Structure 1
Amino acid sequence: MIAAGTDTTAETLEWAMSLLLNHPQSLQKVRSEIELLVGHDRRLIQFSDLCNLPYLHSILKETLRLYPVAPMLLPHESSQDCTIAGFHVPRGTILFVNVYHIHRDPNMWEEPKSFKPERFMEGATTSLGYKIMMMPFGMGRRSCPGEGLAMRLMGFALGAMIQCLEWRRLGEEEVDMEEGAGMTMPKAKPLEALCMPRGIII
């Protein structure tokens, strides 16, 4: 489980930081949330703080919605003959879930291609329910057993990166968000950015 989560966690953090560099207002908003909770230059973020950082969690959820690390999830196999949306699916058929498309379906999401972490904040509503539509880790009995661990580790890592470092793009151009190919979904061009230590770690 730890080995399987290494690349996927790193890729998600890279996508998240790329999105934040292209949306500096969100970067400042989550930094303010962290500083409001732990104090300015007082102490480093801790695991126990994560439950009180809703905007940080919303950024991770929105990142996973836009760039799920397993865009087709893992293959499943039908255990019996069935009919889905008028299509006959014989027993033993290998099935893939196109979660990338589901997460960007305009019938389910407002402005599906836009980075809007606020859509996951408490009080934000949708007629179909965001929780049901979000499945970057799969759903049901065969969903990823490491979901809880991954979300905690990514929340802690991203929070620490934001709290401890000032981030800047290399120039005026936005970070390239082209998707690479593979079983997971890395960036086509690795993130390059400028980072400088903040007072909390100096």
Structure 2
Amino acid sequence: MEYSTLLLSISTVCTCIYVLFHARERPGADKLPPGPTPLPIVGSLFKLGNKPNESLAELAKTYGPIISLRLGRVLAVAVSSPSMAKEVLQKHDQALSGRPILDAVRALGFYERTMGWQPTNMHWRKLRMMYNTQIFTTQRLDADQALRRQKVQELIDHVCENCLMGRAVDIGRSAFVTTLNLLSNTILSVDLVDLNSESAQEFKDHVHGIMEELGKPNLSDYFPLLRPMDLQGVKRRMAGHFRRLYEIFDGVIEERLQSRASSEYHKRNDLLDVLLDHSQDEDLKLSRSDIKALLVEIFTAGTDTSVTTMEWAMAELLRNPNVMEKARSELMEMISSGHPVEESDIVRLPYVQAIVKETLRIHPPVPLLVPHRAEASVEVCGYTVPKHTQLFVNIWAINRDAKLWPNPTSFLPERFVGSDIDLRGRDFELLPFGAGRRICPGLNLGLRMVHLMLASLIHSFTWKLPNGMAPQDMDMSDKFGITLQMAVPLRVVPMKEN
């Protein structure tokens, strides 16, 4: 480290120490939920480790289902039981529905332009209403079934080419391109990438980069005085990812604006048309920069969570051949060989549905959900959650609680066969998409796509691990970001039955 940099770091730490030891304590501190005794300056930061979902689950075993931690200058509360999740996401939904502004989303002012990071104010409500009434409605999703069937067929054709060559398929990459093009056709009426193109990998790298930076512990979030220095480079790297995706969407927007200026233009009524219409609307007043940021938000959230779920589902099926065989038997019984799986078939495939639920239980895409922030002080089960507290809902811990789930670490889809447990935020023991006003607006589209892709891949091919690998030798480790991805990408060899 250069001498000047070292002096700057020492100066900054000394400043942090002064502020910390002269700061007034929060009101109601004696009523905070229990938690570990914080160290001077850093608090309990070291207890989070590189997998905060697992660390918080361990702390809950000692301190209970609601705990408080001092993380640098930030007070955080983590909950890890269905009843506590219900308190946060339903009973006190309005007061606890804010968002902490992570330094990563301050890059290029991203947080000011998107729905996921804005407070639940009037502008947020208008954006949410636009999504719910014009894009993610049941009527619109039903009307786009043929489009989803086409994109999944392109995936099947791609896998078939690899099958003929005896090559392994990168499940995550293939599912990413399929999901990306489905979203881009729904939102922009174009394919953004090709299954075999380098641009597909570039787009995937930027999306994964954004999700990784969002989930990475960042000193700037815990010590605001450090923000201008961006010591870990998180904000700088995020800005790079945003700029490249903005360039891509800027070209799409420019092409659409030129088309809309033509007298022969026929309105497509996709999300881009809706957003451009609102750019002229005094009500929402969306600028071009706003539209690009909203598109980046939709594409990153919409692709990464679906692809993560697909990859984990296929990995668990390969690791549990009996489950794979049972799913194939159900598909063969309900759908004739050689016929494609239709969305209307999914309702007749309870075991496939159970596989998706079990995947989302044992591998929740966003293990701590996107963090919430208290907009007012509230009382939760006798404890005070002060205003500005950051809140984590540890659904990873809830999903692995042996009191709720027998054999919680085992992949057992049978636990959901005949079960009424829902995925849409009504059952607090299974909340992969959150609940309350911050629930994921695109969850119905994501569920339709995951079910259709997974069922089609199981129905169309048999699968084996490459290089003679045995199921018990699979690497099932994960890496923590804001989403929980496989540490080693899944590559599998497809085969056609004779």
The verdict on a shared fold, with TM-score over 0.5 as the criterion, is yes
Q: Does 1:120 align with 2:416?
A: yes
Summarize the Cα distance change of 1:71–1:182 in structure 2 as closer, same or farther, 3 Å threshold: same
- Which residue number corresponds to residue 26 of structure 1? 323
Summarize the Cα distance change of 1:124–1:97 in structure 2 as closer, same or farther, 3 Å threshold: closer
The 1-side partners of 2:410 and 2:330 are apart by: 22
The 2-side partners of 1:157 and 1:19 are apart by: 15
Q: Structure 2: 5+ residue runs without aligned partners?
A: 1-297
The 2-side partners of 1:172 and 1:42 are apart by: 29
* Post-superposition offset of 1:197: 3.1
Q: Does 1:93 align with 2:389?
A: yes
The 2-side partners of 1:89 and 1:180 are apart by: 30
* Post-superposition offset of 1:163: 0.7
- Which residue number corresponds to residue 179 of structure 1? 478
The 1-side partners of 2:316 and 2:471 are apart by: 13
The 2-side partners of 1:65 and 1:59 are apart by: 10
5 Å-filtered alignment, 1:1-202, equals: 1-39=298-336, 41-122=337-418, 131-170=427-466, 171-174=469-472, 175-198=474-497
- Which residue number corresponds to residue 105 of structure 2? none
Q: Secondary structure at the match of 1:132?
A: coil
The 2-side partners of 1:76 and 1:118 are apart by: 33
* Post-superposition offset of 1:46: 0.7
* Post-superposition offset of 1:12: 0.7
The 2-side partners of 1:42 and 1:173 are apart by: 28
- Which residue number corresponds to residue 34 of structure 2? none
Specify the code of the residue in structure 1 equivalent to 2:343. F
The answer to whether the 8 Å contact 2:352/2:455 transfers is yes
The 2-side partners of 1:45 and 1:131 are apart by: 29
Identity %: 38
Cα distance per residue 1:112-132 (max 9 Å; x no partner)? 11111011111589xxxx943
Larger radius of gyration: 2
Q: Between Structure 1 and Structure 2, how many residues are aligned?
A: 194
The 2-side partners of 1:123 and 1:88 are apart by: 36
Q: Structure 1: 5+ residue runs without aligned partners?
A: none
Q: Secondary structure at the match of 2:310?
A: helix
Cα distance per residue 1:123-146 (max 9 Å; x no partner)? 589xxxx94300010012211111
Summarize the Cα distance change of 1:198–1:10 in structure 2 as closer, same or farther, 3 Å threshold: farther
Greater percentage in helix: 2
The 2-side partners of 1:132 and 1:76 are apart by: 16
TM-score normalised according to structure 2 size: 0.37
Q: Secondary structure at the match of 1:190?
A: coil
Cα distance per residue 1:53-100 (max 9 Å; x no partner)? 111010011001011110010111223212224432112222111111
The 1-side partners of 2:433 and 2:419 are apart by: 24
TM-score normalised according to structure 1 size: 0.89
